Amino acid sequence: MDNFQLSPLPIPADTSKRIGLLRELLQNGQPAPLMRHQCRMDATQAVMWQAAMILDGSRKILSGSQTKLDKAKGAVNRGLTLASADEATPWLHDKFTACAGSTSTCVAVCVGSRTGQGRLQSSAIARIGRTLALSVDPQTFLRRLDAEIERANKAARKKGITLAVRANVASDHPHLAGRLAARHPTVAFYDYTAISAAMRLQDNVRRVYSHKGAERLTLTLRHLEAGRGVACVFPISSRSGDPLPATWRGFPVIDGDVDDLWFMRAPSSGGFVVGLKVKGNNAQIDAAKKGGFTVAM
């Protein structure tokens, strides 16, 4: 097993110790608590149990029942949903971030953790638990993740369809995506990233650059002009029936809300835009517009 480490800094001893003790309980026959029981626990107890159960094999790692993933047609769509931005910081260290390219506005309206299913307590426990499990015991986590991907890939191939995996549903770890793509060359890995340098990685991961605010407009346009894809949120509410524009800044727009498999509908060459409608409640939509998270039409 390769020596992959999610965080460059040491994991707090208390985090590792508590998860280790819970794993011992599970190995000695302690029943794994159900999610409804975890939701009644305090946050630390809940995420520690989740991490222990993942490492013990009592919980699956891949997500397959999220709104965007469920929309896939002609492919099996799975995702790795880790904690977003600073969600896991209290249990790791104060310099930890799961999204190095995030902005304060995108954190506030994050579709991975602040809107839709992502707001649910159970979803947060699962995201943070996965991140802690990967952080404290990457070898066991990745071994179990590899096995899940391989099983899903075999099932998809029996049906004659492709397995597509989004390596960062709510996080932004480009090298983790590359590591998975290298180990599973027949799986279609894709990603959104706000880390500009990741767009130049040669690792068989299909990526689009996520536009995060007006201050990054120049960088977003450079990626388009270089023939790369970018993802932009338009000031059109997902609750409205209004269509996305056909082009933006002279580049074709494909609807990223139809399903998550934008790479199957992207043009064969040249820059393109994965268009997304702004999501959230009224306050979040207003914040996205005022903070420059949405692009001018």
Averaged pLDDT of the chain: 90
pLDDT at 244: 95
**Contact 204/264 with Cβ under 8 angstroms?**
no
pLDDT at 119: 59
pLDDT at 247 over 90: yes
The mean per-residue pLDDT over the stretch 139-160 comes to 96
Give CA 274 to chain center in angstroms: 16
| Pairwise CA distance, residues 190 & 275, whole Å | 16
pLDDT digit string, tens, across residues 84-103: 988 999 999 888 888 888 87
pLDDT at 8 over 80: no
pTM, entire model: 0.91
**Contact 63/164 with Cβ under 8 angstroms?**
no
pLDDT at 238: 78
Q: What percentage of the chain has pLDDT greater than the value 70?
A: 92
pLDDT at 213: 83
CA angle (252 as vertex; 248, 257 as ends), nearest 5: 90
Least confidently predicted of 10-24, 70-84, 217-231 = 70-84
Give CA 78 to chain center in angstroms: 11
φ, ψ at 51 (rounded to 5°)? -60, -45
| Pairwise CA distance, residues 116 & 110, whole Å | 10
pLDDT digit string, tens, across residues 35-94: 999 999 999 999 999 999 999 999 999 987 666 666 767 788 999 999 998 899 999 988
Least confidently predicted of 53-57, 131-135, 290-294 = 290-294
pLDDT digit string, tens, across residues 165-192: 999 999 999 999 999 999 999 999 999 9
Instruction: Identify how many contiguous H helices and E strands the chain contains and give both numbers.
Output: 10, 8
